[in-house]
């Protein structure tokens, strides 16, 4: 049967304005960084995309290099869009990025005008779109002048191939420079996408102040610490700590670290939440971010993450207790 979106898709999801713009983002957005590439069954990817939309997640975040292989996540999304979501285009926020390696030669990555605009054309072709809602510079280029990179973003908007522009992985100082140039060009920065979680709070050291001052929204990627802030990870590190030959880094399975994660898990349970739900509540707390960008591998994870919005807002006391638990826990990849 043809797909028909849930009639209740906007009744439960929370939406928050991105800075001083006219755009509102869902509190939870869906990232297609992993598990949506050509190496995954398209029916599973389709089920996750459509379930997200049925739950009010109308923002789908992509990049030219998402897969694997690179580019295939956009192709997957394009196939689902063509089959199911075309009638809902005006309800959707679709974003993509350019800046990481995509093709051979000197113009296959980074922030030149040549790379960014060529990449955007390729992304639009893969997704079957006339435009994206947000086009990001995925990372700052240490060699290309900032004026050229920002000029390319501005040009994409003037071409009608993007409605808004954003930055990702830019420091506070780099963001200030980029924002000033974009303002001069007449295409203000809508949003910044940083890595941010309980385990990685670098944006609190300057970047958040810049975004607030200039009325720019933020969307946190890896709010679950690349899976570390989930019950699955807590079980894994405890099991690994008992093995004589662990596949994880010794500092990741240290007894003290395992205990901190268990304490955090117990704190979440006391609030009636899973650890991942607590992590999302924390990222979305007052003074946090506009939207939390989740990565999933199955439909049930989307349902669990969205339920984080049912939890009571964290109190100042609870935030202090979390800070005490997280002290010196460290962000250590799997």
Domains of the chain with bracketed CATH: 15-225+287-311 (3.20.20.100)
Residues 147-164 pLDDT 10s: 999 999 999 999 999 999
What is the average pLDDT value for the chain, to the nearest integer? 94
For residue 329, pLDDT over 90 is answered with no
3-state secondary structure of 139: coil
Query: What's the mean pLDDT in 75-88?
Result: 98
pLDDT tier, 333 (very low <50, low <70, confident <90, very high otherwise):
low
pLDDT tier, 21 (very low <50, low <70, confident <90, very high otherwise):
very high
pLDDT at 330: 65
For residue 317, pLDDT over 60 is answered with yes
Please tell me the distance from the alpha carbon of residue 170 to that of residue 179, in angstroms, as a whole number: 11
pLDDT at 247: 66
Question: Two tokens at 264?
Answer: 């955090």
Crossing angle for the helix pair 146-158 and 113-127, to the nearest 10 degrees: 40
* Phi (first) and psi of residue 154, to 5 degrees: -60, -40
Please check whether residue 206 is in contact with residue 247, taking contact to mean a CB–CB distance below 8 angstroms: no
What DSSP string runs through 181-236? HHHHHT--EEEEE-B-BTTB-GGGTTHHHHHHHTT-EEEEE-TTTTTTTSHHHHHH
Residues 6+ apart with CB under 8 A from 227: 233, 334
User: Among 23-32, 173-182, 235-244, whose mean pLDDT is lowest?
Assistant: 235-244
For residue 11, pLDDT over 50 is answered with yes
Please check whether residue 190 is in contact with residue 23, taking contact to mean a CB–CB distance below 8 angstroms: yes
For residue 241, pLDDT over 80 is answered with no
Please tell me the distance from the alpha carbon of residue 331 to that of residue 334, in angstroms, as a whole number: 10
Looking from the CA of 87 toward its CB, the CA atoms found within 13 Å total: 6
Ramachandran quadrant class, 89 (left: phi over 0; alpha: psi -120 to 50; beta: rest): alpha
Q: Look up residue 23 and give its DSSP letter.
A: -
pLDDT tier, 252 (very low <50, low <70, confident <90, very high otherwise):
low
């Amino acid at each position: 049967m043809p797909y028909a979106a849930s009639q209740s898709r906007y009744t439960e999801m929370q939406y928050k304005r991105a800075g001083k713009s006219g755009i509102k983002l869902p509190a939870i957005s869906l990232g297609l960084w992993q598990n949506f590439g050509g190496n995954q069954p398209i029916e599973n990817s389709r089920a996750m995309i459509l379930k997200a939309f049925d739950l009010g997640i109308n923002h789908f975040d992509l990049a030219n290099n998402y897969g694997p292989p690179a580019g295939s996540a956009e192709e997957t999304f394009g196939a689902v869009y063509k089959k199911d979501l075309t009638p809902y285009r005006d309800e959707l926020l679709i974003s993509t990025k350019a800046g990481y390696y995509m093709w051979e030669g000197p113009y296959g990555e980074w922030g030149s005008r040549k790379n960014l605009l060529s990449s955007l054309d390729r992304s639009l072709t893969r997704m079957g779109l006339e435009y994206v809602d947000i086009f990001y510079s995925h990372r700052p280029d240490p060699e290309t002048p900032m004026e050229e990179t920002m000029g390319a973003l501005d040009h994409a908007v003037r071409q009608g191939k993007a409605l808004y522009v954003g930055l990702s992985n830019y420091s506070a100082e780099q963001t200030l420079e980029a924002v000033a140039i974009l303002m001069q060009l007449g295409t203000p920065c809508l949003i910044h996408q940083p890595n941010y979680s309980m385990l990685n709070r670098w944006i609190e050291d300057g970047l958040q102040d810049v975004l607030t001052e200039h009325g720019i929204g933020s969307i946190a990627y890896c709010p679950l610490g690349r899976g570390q802030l989930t019950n699955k990870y807590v079980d894994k590190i405890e099991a690994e700590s008992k093995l004589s030959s662990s596949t994880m880094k010794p500092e990741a399975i240290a007894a003290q670290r395992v205990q901190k994660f268990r304490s955090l898990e117990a704190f979440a349970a006391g609030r009636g939440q899973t650890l991942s739900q607590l992590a999302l509540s924390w990222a979305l707390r007052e003074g946090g971010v506009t939207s939390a960008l989740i990565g999933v591998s199955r439909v049930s994870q989307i349902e669990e993450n969205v339920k984080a919005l049912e939890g009571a807002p964290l109190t100042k006391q609870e935030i202090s207790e979390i800070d005490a638990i997280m002290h010196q826990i460290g962000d250590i990849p799997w």
